A and B are shown apart, each in its own frame.
Chain A
């Protein structure tokens, strides 16, 4: 279980996340919804350690990780795929996976780990030697997901994985996300602009507005709540 209590994230005088409490149960998918600038990315970066928490604590399975560097949290089993499709463009698909794997694996060899990932996304297997920068947007997103999954993380943070992708690819990506949760029991936190999409795979959801949690509940309940998008998601 991942618990966030009283979290505050500040950039200078801007408060991006204000006193947020959230819990993420093991083996579930949680959607984080909210309009532009609501603080979704900042919340996720505070969990993975890319931005410091100005106040509050972050615990995984009871252990306080608030003071740990991002690379330490990564080794504890937190994977975070950032928004904006960030990967190592000049490195091949294989190298991207290797970099993602070699500083946090536990014993198993790279070949086994990468083969397992390619089973999930067979179309990547034929592009192993291609520089990641030359792949299509959908393929890049698959590389990012694969890199995030290659060491079998306990927690997976996905920041707007659907952004800018064709509907068919989005479906594939979301199917993969559901499958990861179901097969490996990974706890997944998913931020999205498109509420309906995220709610279709999530178990529960939080809605952020101006850095505060304004709604939370079962995904199925929020999905039928017509007032949601008008009130919080900016239309």
Chain B
């Protein structure tokens, strides 16, 4: 029982990180109706840049902050070179290729300097040996920190979207960019804002997951991005609560399957669940149809 609970808890924690990745993907999907397949590499960049800066003697807080800022800035570049030019020509799906290309470029760039081997990611606040007692189960402090931070960020994001002028502007652009522009909303600036936020979220998620896994390599982000994508679709692509529930369900399923069957089986279970959910509810569990108006 204890083992099951521990697995489930670990699943909740990594699932909350998937939810954060899902939220980053959703944000830019809302504002541009594109999926940024380069996001995985930004997860990796966030983690690798943290390692590099720590190695250069930068204090931990500054290193993490700079790495997150770098991920945000790179996302703006991605929008500028891999998305915006391709949206000019109407119905082009070219962004699939160009965002993927952007991601692969970053992977190659990092591999050039660090090789494609795993690099150790240092413990930032807690070590993997720190445990906290929660309702009688021993819980890793690192996992707990990930859960807390993810949930806090998602709550902050939900409040931003619902209560602030720029949050409303994001929703307005998502729903109908023409009407938003006519209301005086600077649509381009809102789009760029969504990419900065998406990049920063990717940076945060990358650092958190690397902290748990303890290593990072150039391919590090790709599977994570796919899992984040699954969480987003699972949750309905339009809602933060949906992404959170989707991410957590995915994380728990993955950990339980991994713990009781085999670690390699975790991803397979995750995708089986995705397909089952989509077959039954194509709009996802929390799909708000109007958010993803076609």
Contacts and interface: CB of A to CB of B under 8 A. Distances in A.
Nearest to A103: B184
B172 A71 contact: no
Contacts of A95: 168
Contact of A103 (B165, B176, B293): B165
Contacts of A71: 181-187
B291 A102 contact: no
A160 B181 CA distance: 20
Interface in B161-219: 165, 168-169, 171-172, 175-176, 178-188
Interface in B264-294: 288, 290-291, 293
A74 B168 contact: no
B165 A102 contact: yes
A91 B168 CA distance: 9
Chain B contact residues: helix, strand, loop or mixed? helix
A70 interface: yes
Interface residues on A, range: 20 to 34
Contact of B178 (A82, A104, A147): A82
Nearest to A150: B183
Given A98-B168, A99-B169, A103-B165, A89 B175 contact: yes
Interface residues on B, range: 20 to 34
Given A88-B172, A90-B291, A99-B169, A104 B183 contact: yes
Interface in A73-89: 74-75, 79-80, 82, 86-89
Contacts of A79: 182
A67 B18 CA distance: 43
A190 interface: no
Contact of B181 (A70, A87, A102, A133): A70
A88 B182 contact: no
Given A82-B178, A102-B165, A102-B168, A90 B185 contact: no
A104 B180 CA distance: 12
Contact of A88 (B165, B175, B186, B187): B175
Contacts of B183: 71, 74, 99-100, 103-104, 147
B181 A74 contact: yes
Nearest to A78: B182
A50 B178 CA distance: 7
B182 A99 contact: no
Interface in B67-106: none
A70 B178 CA distance: 9
Interface of A: 48-50, 69-71, 74-75, 79-80, 82, 86-91, 95, 98-100, 102-104, 133, 147, 151
Given A74-B184, A90-B290, 7 more contacts: A69-B188, A70-B181, A70-B182, A75-B184, A91-B168, A99-B168, A103-B184
Interface of B: 165, 168-169, 171-172, 175-176, 178-188, 288, 290-291, 293
